[in-house]
Amino acid sequence: MSSNELFDALNILEQEKNISKDTLLEAIKVSLETACKNHFGKAENVKVIIDPETCQFQCYQEKTVVDVVEDPVEQISLEAAHQMDGAYAVGDVVRVEVKSKEFGRIATQNAKNVILQKIREEERKVVFDEYYSKEKDIVTGVVQRYVGKNISINLGKADALLTESEQIKGETFEPTERIKVYIVEVKNTPKGPKILVSRTHPELVKRLFESEVTEVKDGIVEIKAISREAGSRTKIAVWSNDPDVDPVGACVGMNGARVNAIVDELRGEKIDIITWDENPAILIQNALSPAKVISVIADADEKSAKVVVPDYQLSLAIGKEGQNARLAARLTGFKIDIKSETQAREAGDFFDYENDYEDEEYDEYDEYDEYDEADESYEEGHSEEE
């Protein structure tokens, strides 16, 4: 191969494989040194010079001029040195060019293997670096096949593994289906990068909001906290750094377009968006939405709170199988003890309440039917904690 052909080949590899030409030239240099060692038995005195601009290379041995040659690999006779230049004397170091064409078949094959191995290593490194930079972010992948209960997903240049524990219960996929996943971890292995992805991680929801809501992406609206039961329900608390921007409205979007796009990606998972507040009592009240709250007494030191709700709102506040209260506790970081107004009065925990809700009809909450049947195991006054 001429230097021009080598130059063109390296440029193609650099463009297609994203491997640095300097790295490839270094691999060629190492391969020539390896070939010399295999051919001559040693390579300590071998020097390889490559011009990165033209890809012309020269390989030579540095030999010491002696009267009597004892080691032909590292020594040259005075007579032979004079044939090259009559000015050489005993003790001088002579550069003797090594012709790569003189290498044997095995030495040549070994040199080729060194280059190919370096190319493979660099390919793996490039892929690893690309996906390592996307760790803790979401990517779109194509479902390939089920490997036992795990799912192999192609991300473009590499395959990722969606393990059973990171799958949403009941969620199934067909081959060639496109899905969004959260990259949990990228490990470098001898066989290439091992990429672990998730569909259940709370950060998946956060990244989806960043991709759908411009205000979140730009930092105008912040997602302060997330609690999630994957496949069922998620609560997120949002805050606006701009008083003119409604954080909940920005996340919901016109006619619910933004949040609905995320719900569709999560296969119908319900999402409650509430306003963050530095006041724990107000935050807890918001977190228990859609239930109405009469009063909240929060103990910031103990990270606990006593909540009183109207009698007819108790099952709504607790939620089906305790989900609403459980997610609210995780979102706020407080242990929440929910009691109905009657329970609170009987326990002596509540006295000064004017029944602002007595004229309201319960029918207005029919849209939350999913909460109406609280798990029987959740007795009235049940305490939820994160």
Q: 250: which 2 tokens?
A: 């920005």
CA–CA separation, 323 vs 318, rounded Å?
7
Q: How confident is the model at residue 105 (pLDDT cuts 50, 70, 90)?
A: low
Give yes or no for residue 218 having a pLDDT over 80: yes
Give yes or no for residue 113 having a pLDDT over 60: yes
Q: In DSSP terms, which residues pair with 84 in a beta bridge?
A: none
Helix (H, G, I), strand (E, B) or coil at 306: strand
Supply φ then ψ for residue 133, to 5 degrees: -70, -15
- To which H or E segment does residue 59 belong? strand 57-66
Mean pLDDT lowest among 62-71, 87-96, 118-127, 368-377: 368-377
Mean pLDDT of 222-244: 96
User: 335 near 386, Cβ under 8 Å?
Assistant: yes
Q: Which amino acid is located at 202 in the chain?
A: P
Sign of CA dihedral 203, 206, 210, 212: positive
Q: Is the overall model pTM greater than 0.75, yes or no? A: no
* Residue 355: per-residue pLDDT: 47
* Residue 79: per-residue pLDDT: 85
What is the dihedral angle through the alpha carbons of 211, 215, 217, 219, rounded to the nearest 10 degrees?
-160
User: 269 near 230, Cβ under 8 Å?
Assistant: yes
Mean pLDDT lowest among 14-23, 240-249, 316-325: 14-23
Q: How confident is the model at residue 21 (pLDDT cuts 50, 70, 90)?
A: confident
List pLDDT tens digits, range 341-350: 998 888 776 6
Looking at the chain, the whole-number percentage of residues with pLDDT higher than 90 is: 52
Mean pLDDT lowest among 81-95, 96-110, 189-203, 305-319: 96-110
CA–CA separation, 262 vs 245, rounded Å?
21
